[in-house]
Structure formats: structure tokens, C-alpha cells
């Protein structure tokens, strides 16, 4: 089997695909199967990712995610089926766990870049830019064997990103071990690369990554595609949730007026008053709001004389266990919405209290 843009890139077992010369831009697997050590690890996989799309593979351990990525990378040749590629030849791959080789981070990145044929001046620039973007810092001069898991993962991702956008990016659990700033940096950069036409296929179980990046989700089970969800299915989830904690001042009547104004605001999911601080006229309120409503709610809290205590990290609406079982992404949300309907329209702890 051969991989490439030409017609021969879609031949397997002597069978020619008559449409090979008119392939849509991207990469496809057609009925791909693979056995390793006498065990069937991929069974009739169909997958297509266009240029500028991100497909996320989810599944339990042993479901075939890493084998599928290695097949897309060309490290493994399918026993049956067809791999069709109609994108630029450039492939970038970050495996799950970089070996602790006897190099410093800088030496390793330099050698990987030179192997790929990147010119020295450009390679030096990219190493510096990506190291700064992912907060690698002084770890550039440290041996790989001495790095923490998170720092080693940063080096792993940087080596994959050295060629720059375009082509095919393959990532195996890219956010594993990363701190929150580095996770945000990786997602931001990949979003930019998608807009520049990079095709991304990744095994990842981070809900926020799925919500922000995925155009398709393939749920794998025992080497088969159990379910295939598209962006339209993910949009039914709604937006990620932001938690805000505030201090509100005033009498019960004033607080009730503020509450009545905001509780019906689109995107405000829940308001809960749960305690007092400093004196009886300063009360702690917790909010659950959709991401797009966050700025409005903060503005209204301050306008009402309140103050912001904290704005916590977004909470994803993707329920991973539900997704891994093959259920529609939005099914769990609909169930949760029904169960919490009564708490959406009242402020329970306000009743019976005096100013």
C-alpha cells in the first residue's frame, strides 16, 4: 500500500478506487483493519477528516486509539482496507509519552528539526517561539531524563509542531500532564492552526478540549467505531459553564430585586446565596452562568454595588463516561436540566431571613 495524493495512494489488495483522483482534501480510512500479536486491534474503521478539521478519538484503554493514530502516521500498515491522503505530505506526530533520551531538550528539538529538513535559522526561531509559548523556560538546557512528566510533554508537543501549520497533526493525549496555562496555550495554538488548514486527529479525554476543538468525535470500543458524532451534535450541549462568586450588599428587598432582574437573564443557570461575610449586609452569592453571559453578569454585579471574589475555570458540559458508553453528547445534559429545573427559578436560602 502507498500513501500520497496520487491515485496509487488509494489502492489496497490490488483494488483501485475510481474516485481517487477526485478525493476531497483531507485524510480517510476505509474499512481499515489491523492485527498485532495475533490480536485484532482495528476492525473495519471508517474515518474522514478534511483540511482544517479536528477529529477527537475517545475510548477506554485498549480500544484502538493509539494504533489508529500510528496507522494514520504511516508507522503501521493496515492488514485490510485503504488509507487515502489528499493533503500536503507534512505529518506531525506526538506520541503518548516521550522517551527519556540522553539529550537536553534543546539538543533533542534541534536534531528533530534537522531530521525534518528545517533550515537552521528557521529552526532556531521556531524552537525559541514554541518554547516561550509553552513556558518551557530553562528546561531547554536540561536533560530529558531529569524533566517532570508535564515538562517532557511540552518538549514532545514542540517537536511535533516544529514544521508549522498545514498538513496533518496527530496527537496522543496532548494535554496529559500539562498545567492549566500550558493547556490553554496548546488549545489556542491548535485553534489557529485549524484556521490555517491543518487537519488534526487526536486521542484526548479532556472535555474542554473536545468542546473547543472537535469537529468530529469517534467513540472507539474493541477496535470498532461505536459512535460517530459531528459538530452539530456537540452544539446541542450548549456552552461551557463559568462559576462566579460575589459579595452582594443591601437589604433582603434590594437583593431580591437584583436577583429577580438577573435570574431570567439568558445564560444565567443558577444563583445561590449561602452565607454572610463581615456583616449582615454583605452576603456571598455563587453563580453558574454560560461563558457568553459571564461579562454581562460581572458588570451587573458591580453595578448593583457588589464585588467579585473569584471567577473559576470553565466547567465542560461533556460527560465523558456518558460519551464513552456511546450515548449522544447532549443526553446527559437534558437529564441534568430536568433534575435541576426547580433550583433554576428560586433562591432557596433567602426565604425566611430578615435584613
Helix 294-303 to helix 252-263 angle (10° resolution) is 160
* Predicted local confidence at residue 281, as pLDDT: 65
Strands 241-249 and 268-277: unpaired
Which pLDDT belongs to residue 13? 39
**pLDDT lower than 70: segments of the chain:** 1-24, 87-89, 250-256, 275-281, 313, 332-355
As a whole number of angstroms, the distance between CA 330 and CA 230 comes to 12
Contacts 24+ apart (CB under 8 A), 36-39: 36/67
What confidence score (pLDDT) does residue 348 get? 44
3-state secondary structure of 6: coil
Strands (E), the chain: 11-12, 15-16, 26-36, 39-50, 54-58, 80-85, 91-94, 168-172, 199-203, 216-221, 224-230, 241-249, 268-277, 279-290, 307-311
pTM for the complete prediction? 0.76
Helix (H) or strand (E) holding 323: helix 320-324
Look at the chain and count its residues.
Answer: 355
* Residues facing residue 282 across a β-bridge: 249
* pLDDT at residue 24 in the model: 54
SS3 for 155-222, per residue?
Answer: HHHHHHHCCCCCCEEEEECCCCCCCHHHHHHHHHHHHHHHHCCCEEEEECCCHHHHHHHCCEEEEEEC
Classified as helix, coil or strand, 82 is strand
Q: Which of 42, 69, 299 is nearest to 168 (CA)?
A: 69
Count of C-beta atoms within a 10 Å radius of residue 223: 22
pLDDT of residue 336: 55
Instruction: Show contacts of 155-158: CB within 8 Å, 24+ apart.
Output: 155/98, 155/105, 155/108, 155/109, 156/94, 156/95, 156/97, 156/98, 157/94, 157/186, 158/109, 158/127, 158/130, 158/131, 158/134
pLDDT at 180: 86
Provide the pLDDT for residue 8. 29
Q: What is the pLDDT of residue 36?
A: 94
Domains of the chain: 7-235 (3.40.50.300), 241-350 (3.30.70.1340)
Is-contact 150 186, C-beta < 8 A? no
**Closest Cα to residue 343, out of 282, 263, 233?**
263
Amino acid at each position: 500500500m502507498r500513501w500520497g495524493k496520487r491515485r496509487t495512494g488509494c489502492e489496497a489488495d490490488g483494488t483501485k478506487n475510481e474516485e481517487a483522483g477526485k478525493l476531497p482534501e483531507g485524510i480517510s480510512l476505509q474499512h481499515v483493519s489491523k492485527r498485532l500479536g495475533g490480536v485484532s486491534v482495528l476492525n473495519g474503521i471508517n474515518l474522514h477528516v478534511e483540511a482544517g478539521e479536528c477529529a477527537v478519538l475517545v475510548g477506554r484503554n485498549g480500544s484502538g486509539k493509539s494504533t489508529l493514530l500510528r496507522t494514520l502516521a504511516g508507522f503501521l500498515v493496515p492488514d485490510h482496507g485503504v488509507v487515502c491522503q489528499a493533503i500536503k505530505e507534512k505529518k506531525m506526530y506526538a506520541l503518548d509519552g516521550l522517551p527519556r533520551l540522553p539529550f537536553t531538550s534543546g539538543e533533542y528539538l534541534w536534531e528533530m528539526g534537522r531530521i525534518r529538513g528545517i533550515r537552521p535559522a528557521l529552526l532556531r526561531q521556531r524552537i525559541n517561539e514554541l518554547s516561550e509559548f509553552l513556558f518551557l523556560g530553562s528546561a531547554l538546557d536540561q536533560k530529558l531524563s531529569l524533566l517532570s512528566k508535564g515538562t517532557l510533554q511540552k518538549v514532545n508537543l514542540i517537536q511535533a509542531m516544529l514544521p508549522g501549520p498545514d498538513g496533518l497533526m496527530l496527537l496522543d493525549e496532548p494535554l496529559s500532564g500539562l498545567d492549566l496555562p500550558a493547556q490553554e496555550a496548546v488549545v489556542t495554538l491548535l485553534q489557529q492552526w485549524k484556521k490555517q488548514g491543518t487537519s488534526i486527529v487526536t486521542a484526548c479525554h479532556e472535555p474542554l478540549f473536545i468542546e473547543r476543538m472537535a469537529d468530529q468525535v469517534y467513540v472507539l470500543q474493541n477496535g470498532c467505531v461505536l459512535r460517530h458524532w459531528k459538530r452539530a451534535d456537540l452544539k446541542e450541549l450548549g456552552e461551557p459553564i463559568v462559576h462566579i462568586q460575589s459579595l452582594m450588599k443591601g437589604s433582603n428587598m434590594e437583593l431580591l430585586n437584583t436577583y429577580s432582574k438577573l435570574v431570567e437573564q439568558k445564560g444565567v443557570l443558577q444563583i445561590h446565596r449561602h452565607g454572610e461575610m463581615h456583616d449582615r449586609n454583605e452576603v456571598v452569592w455563587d453563580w453558574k452562568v454560560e461563558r457568553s453571559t459571564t461579562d454581562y453578569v460581572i458588570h451587573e454585579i458591580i453595578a448593583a454595588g457588589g464585588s467579585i471574589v473569584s471567577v473559576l475555570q470553565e466547567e465542560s458540559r461533556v460527560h465523558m463516561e456518558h460519551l464513552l458508553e456511546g450515548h449522544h453528547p447532549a443526553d446527559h445534559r437534558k437529564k441534568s436540566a430536568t433534575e435541576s429545573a426547580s433550583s433554576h427559578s428560586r433562591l432557596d436560602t433567602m426565604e425566611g431571613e430578615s435584613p
